[in-house]
């Protein structure tokens, strides 16, 4: 089984096909996704975060349900159908990055301010 066969059976893009498979193949999958949908409304209405950047209690409840229940169901479907796991931001941070390229001396990041960032033309 593969991503292609999962998408052929359930239709749509991969995320939608996985959700459809969760609803169809896993016990309590439908209820878990319905609860996530019900938690999303209040979380979105609350603005997801307070002015100081912390998640609201509604957003925290949504994230907790997604992390503790829905992500595990998604992992089961991905394993069953042989679809690779999603790389999380923490996984991406673990990979090494190439250092940023240094600009030539005297070159600003924004370009020439007198020409609106475009290079000057001689003449």
Contact 6, 81 (CB under 8 A): yes
pTM score: 0.69
Phi and psi, residue 49, nearest 5°: -145, 150
- The 10s digit of each residue's pLDDT in 62-121 is 999 999 999 999 999 999 999 998 776 666 666 666 666 666 666 656 666 666 656 666
Neighbour tally for 71: CB within 10 Å: 13
- Alpha-helix runs per DSSP H in 46-70: 57-65
Q: How far apart are CA 112 and CA 84, in angstroms?
A: 46
How many Cα atoms sit within 13 Å of 4 on the Cβ side?
Answer: 0
């Amino acid at each position: 089984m593969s991503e292609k066969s999962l998408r052929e059976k359930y239709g749509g893009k991969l995320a939608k096909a996985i959700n459809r498979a969760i609803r169809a193949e896993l016990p309590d999958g439908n209820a878990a996704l319905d609860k996530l949908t019900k938690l999303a409304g209040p979380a979105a209405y609350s603005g997801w975060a307070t002015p100081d950047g912390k998640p609201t209690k509604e957003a925290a409840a949504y994230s907790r349900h997604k992390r503790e229940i829905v992500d595990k169901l998604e992992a089961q479907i991905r394993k069953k159908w042989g679809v690779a796991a999603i790389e999380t931001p923490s996984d991406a941070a673990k990979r090494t990055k190439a250092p940023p390229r240094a600009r030539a001396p005297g070159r600003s990041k924004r370009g020439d301010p007198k020409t609106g960032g475009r290079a000057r033309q001689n003449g």
